[in-house]
Structures are given as C-alpha cells and as structure tokens.
C-alpha cells in the first residue's frame, strides 16, 4: 500500500481525524483596526446576486466583498516591505503549505499577561525538552485567544493605550526567520505580531523578519487545543490570488485519533 493510500485508509477507518483550524468567515468576523491616518481593509460581506428567483431561477449565488487579510488568512512575503520582491499568494510553494505541525502552548502566560511576548529562550527551552523543530514545520502558538473569536472588542482587546494581544519579541522574530528551517507560524490572534508590536524595533518585527525571509504566517486559528504537541500534519489552503498579499485560507490538521 502506498503512503497516500495508507492515509486514505486511516481516514476511512477513522484512525486519522481532520480538525478544522479555521474561524468561520462572516460579516461578524473580528478584523484588525488600524489607527488614523492608516487605511483599513473592508470587512467581509456577501452581496446576493440571485436566489432561485428572476435573476437566477435555478440557483443562488453571491458576490464576495472582503479584504485580503480578514479572518483566518495567510500573509505572503509581498505583504510587507521587507518582502516586497518576494512571492505573492499565487506563487507560494504548495509543498510548504503542507507539513508537520508543532503546537507550543503559552496559555498560562497569556492568561497572566495579555501582552505576553514569546522570546528566543522559550523556543530554545521547548526544543531542549521536545527535540528540534522539524524541517518545513509550521509552529502553531496556542494562547487560548480563539475563545474571543466571536467578540470584536475582546478579540482586539483595545484601550486608550492600544491593543493588548500576545505575540513575539523582535529578537524572537528575527531568530525564527533566520535560524529555523520552518515554513511559517500560526497564531490565534488577529495578526502574526503582538497588539503592541508597533512600539517594538523594528515595528511589527514578525511581519518584517518572517516575510522578509520567505516564510509565511497564518492568523485567527482555532481548535489548537485539539492538536497534539507533535505528530499532526497541517494543510493550509489559501485562495491563489495573482498579485495577492494575503488571502482567506481554510486550514486543517490531520491527527491520529
């Protein structure tokens, strides 16, 4: 039996399970809000074209209106100035959109401090305990933030001092980009950088270093608690938008049940 047939047989037998890591996409999906003078993307919406009526008697269909970076989505290298000469979404290597998933759990730290930042020492300590990150891996950072995915205010956690959501230090962002042979990272928050990342040096360091190093980021993940620390396979399926800096994505994991 070929390896592909083994996976298909395991799915049919129920010994391998598919876990959907994607947040539902609707007009209520929490979205990033940039302060003035920066421009914001439009939120997701559907425009009815026909619904089994005169414009289309046998079918129903819609026009989709959305920004590229809404809901569970991928950031392509050209999304950031450091990757401006890099790949758009349609050019992303499919082999890097499927790979091993490694789940790093920082829920306790985030519960204690919503501004918690993962540093290099955390990732070094993780590898000392669990082993080196696999090549082509996706590092998925569990913080419990997906519990707020139904509430825009709680998800962005805004006050007069800005947004308070977990993320990474600038040093950690640079280290992941330059020292790890990974495909990318995934987070449960609205963006791959922390809520206060504009104050770091450089600003939004995960965007700057990761995308500049031809690595990818996915956001607004959910159900990471259902995944093992190691051993899952992730499938990231964005829309292949030519020239796109990002795209909504269906993200799934295959795990041993």
pLDDT tens-digit readout, 226-251: 999 999 999 999 999 999 999 999 99
Within-domain flag for 12: no
Count other C-beta atoms under 10 Å from residue 90's C-beta: 14
Within-domain flag for 118: yes
- Look at residue 257 in the predicted model and tell me its pLDDT: 87
Contacts of 6 (CB under 8 A, 6+ apart): none
Structural domain that includes position 108: 18-23+68-256
Within-domain flag for 63: no
Query: CA-to-CA distance for 145 and 190, rounded, in angstroms?
Result: 9
Contact 153, 163 (CB under 8 A): no
What is the pTM (predicted TM-score) of this model?
Answer: 0.95
Within-domain flag for 41: no
Q: Which of 61, 62, 65, 79 is catalytic?
A: 79
Contacts of 60 (CB under 8 A, 6+ apart): 48, 50, 51, 52
Query: CA-to-CA distance for 66 and 31, rounded, in angstroms?
Result: 11
Q: What is the total count of domains within the chain?
A: 1
Query: CA-to-CA distance for 195 and 251, rounded, in angstroms?
Result: 23
Residue 162, by phi and psi: left (phi above 0), alpha (psi -120 to 50) or beta? left
CATH number of the domain encompassing residue 155:
3.50.30.50
Within-domain flag for 55: no
- Look at residue 209 in the predicted model and tell me its pLDDT: 98
Angle (CA) 145 147 148, round 5°: 80
- Look at residue 41 in the predicted model and tell me its pLDDT: 97
Within-domain flag for 44: no
> Which residues, given as ranges, of the chain have pLDDT below 50?
none
- Look at residue 79 in the predicted model and tell me its pLDDT: 98
**Max Cα-Cα span within the chain:** 65
- Look at residue 82 in the predicted model and tell me its pLDDT: 98
Within-domain flag for 209: yes
- Look at residue 249 in the predicted model and tell me its pLDDT: 98
Contact 102, 139 (CB under 8 A): yes
- Look at residue 92 in the predicted model and tell me its pLDDT: 98
- Look at residue 38 in the predicted model and tell me its pLDDT: 94
Within-domain flag for 148: yes
Active site residue 79: yes
């Amino acid at each position: 039996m070929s390896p592909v047939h083994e996976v298909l047989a395991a799915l049919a037998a129920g010994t391998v399970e598919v876990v959907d890591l994607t947040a539902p996409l609707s007009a209520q999906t929490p979205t990033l809000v940039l302060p003035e003078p920066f421009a914001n993307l439009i939120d997701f919406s559907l425009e009815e074209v026909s619904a089994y009526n005169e414009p289309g008697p046998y079918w129903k269909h819609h026009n989709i209106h959305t920004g590229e970076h809404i809901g569970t989505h991928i950031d392509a290298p050209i999304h950031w100035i450091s990757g401006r000469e890099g790949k758009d979404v349609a050019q992303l290597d499919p082999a890097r959109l499927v790979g091993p998933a490694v789940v790093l759990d920082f829920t306790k730290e985030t519960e204690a401090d919503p501004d918690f930042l993962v540093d290099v020492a955390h990732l070094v300590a993780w590898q000392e305990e669990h082993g080196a990150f696999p090549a082509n891996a996706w590092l998925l950072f569990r913080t419990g933030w997906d519990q707020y995915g139904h509430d825009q205010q709680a998800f962005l956690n805004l006050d007069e001092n800005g947004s308070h959501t977990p993320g990474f230090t600038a040093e950690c962002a640079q280290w992941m980009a330059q020292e790890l042979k990974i495909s990318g990272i995934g987070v449960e928050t609205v963006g791959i950088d922390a809520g206060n990342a504009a104050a770091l040096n450089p600003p939004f360091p995960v965007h700057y270093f990761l995308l500049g190093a031809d690595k990818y980021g996915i956001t607004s993940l959910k159900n990471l608690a259902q995944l093992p620390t190691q051993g899952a396979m992730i499938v990231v399926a964005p829309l292949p938008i030519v020239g796109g800096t990002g795209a909504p994505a269906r993200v799934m994991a295959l795990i041993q049940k």
